Amino acid sequence: MALDQHIDAIEAWAGVPLAHQYRALLASHGGQFVGDLVRFYTADEIIERNDCYEVQLYCPGYLAIGDDSGGRAVVISLQLSSSPVFIVDHGSMTPEDFYLVAESLPSWVSEGCPL
């Protein structure tokens, strides 16, 4: 399946269009490590990973877009076009447990995804 088809499937699953900044990240960094630890999920992994971690149940309105290779998810809001980036433990996927790592996804990526 082509990237655009995967994005269409993610948007249908999430019920909202994906932010342009996140679409660009999928095209350029999906499946890759940025920095030493952060891996961004590929477009074909997004739905499976979010279902596995029950993101829609425990933190509706958010999307897990990657992980830190150590049991924590990288999460952004689906409601904001320039979303802050959060880290949260896979075992505690609630907004109350989010830890802010950056004010915007593009700036965080350009800095090498420091944790």
Domain layout of the chain by residue ranges? 3-110
How confident is the model at residue 82, as a pLDDT? 72
Indicate the helix (H) or strand (E) that contains 110: helix 105-110
pLDDT tens column, 75-101: 999 987 777 999 999 999 999 999 999
- Decide: 62 and 55 in contact? Cβ < 8 Å: yes
CATH homologous superfamily of domain 3-110? SMI1/KNR4-like (3.40.1580.10)
Model-wide pTM > 0.85: yes
pLDDT tens column, 14-43: 999 999 889 999 999 888 999 889 999 999
- Decide: 63 and 47 in contact? Cβ < 8 Å: no
How confident is the model at residue 87, as a pLDDT? 97
